[in-house]
Amino acid sequence: MPRGESIGGAIRLLKILLVASVIVPIAVFAAASWYAWLDIRSQAIEQASRTAQILREHALKVFETHELALDEIADRIRGLSWEAIEASKDLHEAFVRTTDRHDQVTSAFVVSPKGFVANTSSRKPVAGAPEVNVTDRSYFKAALEGRTGTYIGEPVVGRVTGVPVLHVARRLEAPDGGFGGIVVVAVSLEKFTSFYRGITSVQGNSVTLARIDGTILAREPPISSGAASLSPASGFMKAIVSGQKQYPTSSELDGIERIHALERVGDFAVYVSYGLSMSALYRALMGDIMVYALFAFGASASLVFVGWMALRQARNEMRLVEQWQDEVHRRESAEQVLRQTQKMEALGQLTGGVAHDFNNLLMVIGGNIELLKRKAAGAGVDRQISAIEHAAHSGEALTRKLLAFSRRRLVKATAIDLGPFLPKVVDLIKPSLPAEVDIALDVPPDIGPVKADADDLDLALVNIVLNARDAMPEGGRVVVSARQTVLRGSETTADHLAGEFVALSIRDTGAGILPQHLQRVFEPFFTTKEIGRGTGLGLSQVYGFAKQCGGAVTIDSAPGAGTTVTLYLPRAAADAAVEAERSADESPAVRKVLLVEDNKEVAEAAAAMLESIGCSVQHANASEPALALLASGERFDLVLSDIVMPGGLDGMQLARRLRAEYPSLPVLLTTGYSNSAQKAAGEHFPILLKPYRIEALQEAIGRAVGVTGRAPSPVQRAVPAN
């Protein structure tokens, strides 16, 4: 077998091994994570089942005690007339002894067939005392309808005791077989909730005691929505109907996702459910996943490195064999062109993602350098800190280069006055054009500014003009023109845009574009040029730039008729460019800052950055101390507050108070949570996302002062209208 073929087979095998070195650890990691989840979920279900059985035994003991108390009361009044029952103080004392004997019974009483409480453990019979009517209670209605056996009512406030109770009642039969009244015992709901409170010590767990019809008897944590029953669509009710003992569901009472275990309380028409919070299970799973990920990443990285080194060596050997077999110079030239094209295409996708991720790390490093300088002052580590700072700046420069190369720079839209801007671009392009190609400008003096990124607009114009140059090898003319236009949303070639735009057109007299190619000119890597003349990314950059700045791009061409590329750019306010330059030169008049931050480390870092830009800082660890400082007469130019804070007032509530009481005091809110940022933006509060750097902090302070106006000194308290 020729050596070239053997090396080729080795390369293919190495590629397979290289792919396997990534896929196999990932597969093992996924399988381990899945089995970990199954184990955690199985343990959670077992724990929920055991707890539900404990809760069932507790409820069964309570209700069986009630049954015993009902038997005692029924035996005690058997054969007595209602007149004797109502007048008997001995019967009252007997009821009191019953409640004292049974800790689970709060009170006991009997109800006449007419619905009046005849005698009770709560008070002695007194002639002329007001009668208590219970005909509206569900347990009386159930007995009146002929329901026998023990009936458990819904939670109510006792009319005699005045506390939340649960009634357990039993119908009495008259001598003639008719309705003979009711014996009732009541238990304080605290008997249940105090026991359940100890069971639900983990945040998010719950206990629900409910009747078979969905009426909630007791729950911990308490119901905040006011709902008194569960709907047939709830997981609790569905489990009762289907006979399930375990079920996952999101509670319709508080919306929390849990795994529930359900148990029936003896022969009573009551069920008890214990729910384990899924968030606690997810946290346990994440701990396992982090361990698995550490091992999987280490194994994969080692295998990839070894495989890559072997593959690299095999490719080098292959290249040497090919160079030895063929004409060295011709093969090297052809391979160089091919490798360059492939490298440009692959790196254009790879470097953009790498640069963005690396930038996030640099933000964290740079944001803590100031705090490190402050803490390490005089500790003999200045050289090390400078090295970190230099490395961070070098990393930032590297990411800017990577983003520019990959054409994935973030858009910094500003107001660009096309009058002076376009001649500068044309002067920049002219040296790249041959003498046979002429370029001209046709721009009215009152064209006005557009809103776009200046660097991207510059690059887009260069790409378009250089494409026009390549389309005119024998020479020709390029005209750059601009006009104001209003789009109505019906122009299909302009992506249905609506509003005021500037149409910036670049027209050439070149060979034109074939119809089958015209629909693909904006696709990345599509090109009709020969190898080495382009990668097909020029017009795709133009398309992306137009989209990012809120505009569109169109192209009109035909073979032999030249090509016209038109950029539709949104117009900016007439004075926006001047105002942008003015605001860029002005720095906000902020000297003293009230920093409201509950996290000590974050507060120290923020204070260091503020001090580095010339601000003095006073720190408050909550909203209440901050308000107290302002109320004492302290003067501040700005309040910088975190949104998520413990205590009575969070950052949003503090900002509202300050807006109402100190309308001239600028407020800048900061947070690491996107939902908090959206809420703040919805109320038109300036927002600074964590983590941030000093430059972002300065810019945000400028915006905050700009929203409120220049910070006055001293801060004046708003006087409420009479």
pLDDT digits (tens, 9 = 90+) for 68-108: 999 989 998 988 888 888 888 888 898 899 888 888 888 89
DSSP state of 129: P
- Quote the pLDDT of residue 492: 56
Dist. CA 321–CA 6, nearest whole Å = 11
How many percent of the chain have pLDDT more than 70? 77
pLDDT digits (tens, 9 = 90+) for 367-419: 667 556 656 666 667 777 777 777 766 665 455 444 444 444 545 578 888 88
* DSSP track, 192-257: HHHHHHHHT-STT-EEEEEETTSBEEEEESPPSS---B--TTSHHHHHHHHT-SEEEEE-TTT--E
CATH superfamily of 1-311: PAS domain (3.30.450.20)
Residue listed under structure tokens 């609790």: 236
Dist. CA 264–CA 62, nearest whole Å = 14
Decide if pLDDT at 343 tops 50. no
Token pair listed for 228: 């008194």
pLDDT digits (tens, 9 = 90+) for 614-663: 899 999 999 999 999 999 988 999 999 988 887 778 888 999 999 999 99
- Quote the pLDDT of residue 210: 92
pLDDT digits (tens, 9 = 90+) for 606-625: 888 888 888 999 999 999 99
- Quote the pLDDT of residue 256: 87
- Quote the pLDDT of residue 402: 46
Decide if pLDDT at 137 tops 60. yes
Domain with CATH 3.30.565.10 in the chain: 414-578
- Quote the pLDDT of residue 40: 85
696 closest CA partner among 670, 677, 666, 674 = 670
Decide if pLDDT at 593 tops 90. yes
- Quote the pLDDT of residue 658: 92
**43 vs 545: which has the higher pLDDT:** 43
Domain with CATH 3.30.450.20 in the chain: 1-311
How many percent of the chain have pLDDT more than 90? 14
Residue listed under structure tokens 């707890």: 51
Specify the DSSP element, H or E, that contains 46: helix 3-77
Dist. CA 704–CA 688, nearest whole Å = 10
DSSP state of 719: P
Distances (CA, A) of 518 to 221, 504, 544, 623: 66, 20, 17, 61
Segment 599-604 mean pLDDT: 81
Long-range contacts of 697-703 (CB under 8 A, 24+ apart): 697/606, 697/609, 697/610, 697/613, 698/587, 698/588, 698/613, 700/668, 701/588, 701/590, 701/638, 701/640, 701/668, 702/583, 702/587, 702/588, 703/668
- Fold category of 587-708 in CATH: Rossmann fold (3.40.50)
- Quote the pLDDT of residue 583: 44
Decide if pLDDT at 345 tops 60. no
What is the b/e burial string over 325-353, where b = at least 16 CB atoms within 10 angstroms of the residue's CB? eeeeeeeeeeeeeeeebeeeeeebeebbe
235 closest CA partner among 202, 205, 257 = 257
Q: Report whether 658 contacts 675 (CB < 8 A).
A: no
Dist. CA 354–CA 5, nearest whole Å = 35
CATH number 3.30.565.10 is the correct assignment for the domain at 414-578: yes
Domain with CATH 3.40.50.2300 in the chain: 587-708
Average pLDDT across the chain, whole number? 78
**312 vs 348: which has the higher pLDDT:** 312
Read off the pLDDT band of 351 (50, 70, 90): very low
- Quote the pLDDT of residue 29: 80
Segment 481-503 mean pLDDT: 78
Is-above-0.85 flag for pTM?
A: no
- Quote the pLDDT of residue 295: 74
Decide if pLDDT at 447 tops 50. yes
Ramachandran category for residue 543: left, alpha or beta (phi over 0 → left; psi -120 to 50 → alpha): alpha
Dist. CA 173–CA 148, nearest whole Å = 9
- Quote the pLDDT of residue 674: 47
Instruction: Give the least confident one: 250-254, 344-348, 704-708.
Output: 344-348
